[in-house]
Amino acid sequence: MESAEVVARNRRYWEALAPHRLGESIEFFEAGGSALNSDELDAVGDVRGRRVLQLACSVGDEALTFARLGAEVVAVDLAPGHLATGRAKAEALGLAVDFREQDMMALAPELTGFDLIFISWGGICWVPDLTRWAADLASRLAPGGVLVISEHHPLWEVLTVTAPMRVTGNYFAPARDGYSDPLKAPQITRELGDDIPSRSYVWSLGAVVTAVLNAGLTLRSLQEFAEPDMYADLGDQAGHLPATYLLTAVR
Ligand SMILES: C[S@@+](CC[C@H](N)C(=O)[O-])C[C@H]1O[C@@H](n2cnc3c(N)ncnc32)[C@H](O)[C@@H]1O
């Protein structure tokens, strides 16, 4: 499937979910809530006065958190419905975020010179060409700028953890049409059903690291984390497998 066709299909998929996917409430942010966890906050460092680009920002919760921390934020997503939710939240909270409807594979030329480019939680799986994507992002970082990827671990993506545990994806064949395990699909589809076509990609850690290095970036850290809730059916061993990862690379 051509990249443009993948993107068009996925825009339809995400637009269909948009009215049902609202993210954190205004009250959550007013109470001082952060959409970034402590490992992510450590990885991004002090963002005050920094230029931040968030990719696949969805309804903007992390972008709003960056803005609240004092960053100058551009947040891009394919789906206008998600961006509209993000804009409404920003307005309600009095925060400035430049939300833009953009395909992260074809960003506008002026989106460049960033101190931080951030993508998370079901973002990288929508990248159809990892090598081209990483090279493009490297060129949009200011010297010393940092790329942070905080994601579901690809091993978790290919395992279905019910008894007996099954391998329902191929770690070495990234393209995935729809989801054979509903727990890997966007959470809202567990209520709505998931019959709208989508094409996503499970990128192995090796593929991600190789793309980042080929883009000329320097790998600063690659952490893998247990998240027992994501393997709940494994009982005592739920913490024995990696569930998420956090990669930081610098230009
Ligand atoms: C699971 S959400 C992103 C996760 C976000 N960090 C969050 O926690 O809400 C995936 C998002 O990727 C967006 N997306 C998919 N393909 C994209 C593309 N090619 N360019 C930009 N955004 C894309 C979708 O519209 C959707 O909002």
Chain segment 200-232, per-residue pLDDT in tens: 999 999 999 999 999 999 999 999 999 999 998
C-beta of 79 in contact with ligand 1 (< 6 A): yes
Q: What are the φ and ψ backbone dihedral angles of 147, each rounded to 5 degrees?
A: -100, 125
Residue type, 229: D
Q: Does domain 3-151+198-222+242-250 have CATH number 3.30.1360.170?
A: no
Q: What are the φ and ψ backbone dihedral angles of 207, each rounded to 5 degrees?
A: -65, -40
Cα 237 to ligand 1 centroid, rounded to whole Å = 31
Structure confidence at residue 4 as a pLDDT band (50, 70, 90): confident
Residue 40 has pLDDT above 90, yes or no: yes
Mean pLDDT across 9-37: 95
Cα 9 from chain centroid? 18
Instruction: Say which DSSP state 123 is in.
Output: S
Token pair, residue 136, equals 């493009």
C-beta of 104 in contact with ligand 1 (< 6 A): yes
Are the CB atoms for 3 and 129 separated by under 8 Å? yes
Digit-coded pLDDT (tens) for 48-94 = 999 999 999 999 999 999 999 999 999 999 999 999 999 999 999 99
Residue 82's nearest CA partner among 66, 67, 62 is 62
C-beta of 176 in contact with ligand 1 (< 6 A): no
Cα 99 to ligand 1 centroid, rounded to whole Å = 13
C-beta of 60 in contact with ligand 1 (< 6 A): no
Q: How are beta strands 166-167 and 175-177 bridged, if at all? A: unpaired
User: What is the SS3 assignment for 186?
Assistant: coil
C-beta of 198 in contact with ligand 1 (< 6 A): no
Least confident interval from 98-112, 135-149, 175-189: 175-189
User: What is the SS3 assignment for 42?
Assistant: helix
Matching residue, tokens 């699909």: 185
Residue 194 has pLDDT above 90, yes or no: no
C-beta of 125 in contact with ligand 1 (< 6 A): no
Structure confidence at residue 197 as a pLDDT band (50, 70, 90): very high
The per-residue pLDDT of the chain, averaged, comes to 95
Mean pLDDT across 176-197: 88
Are the CB atoms for 99 and 86 separated by under 8 Å? yes
Can you tell me which atom of ligand 1 is nearest the CA of 35?
8
Q: Which of 57, 62, 149, 151 gets mutated to test ligand 1 (max ligand atoms within 8 A of its CB)?
A: 57
- Bond into 197 cis (ω within 30): no
pLDDT reported for residue 191: 83
Can you tell me which atom of ligand 1 is nearest the CA of 186?
1
Cα 195 to ligand 1 centroid, rounded to whole Å = 18
232: how many CB neighbours lie within 10 A of its CB? 12
Can you tell me which atom of ligand 1 is nearest the CA of 120?
6
Break the chain into its structural domains and give their ranges: 3-151+198-222+242-250
- Bond into 164 cis (ω within 30): yes
pLDDT reported for residue 163: 72
Half-sphere exposure of 21 (CA within 13 A, CB side): 25
Beta bridge partners of 187: none
C-beta of 62 in contact with ligand 1 (< 6 A): yes
247: how many CB neighbours lie within 10 A of its CB? 23
Digit-coded pLDDT (tens) for 151-165 = 999 999 999 988 788
pLDDT reported for residue 3: 82
Can you tell me which atom of ligand 1 is nearest the CA of 21?
9
Share of the chain above pLDDT 70, in %: 100
Digit-coded pLDDT (tens) for 24-39 = 999 999 999 999 999 9
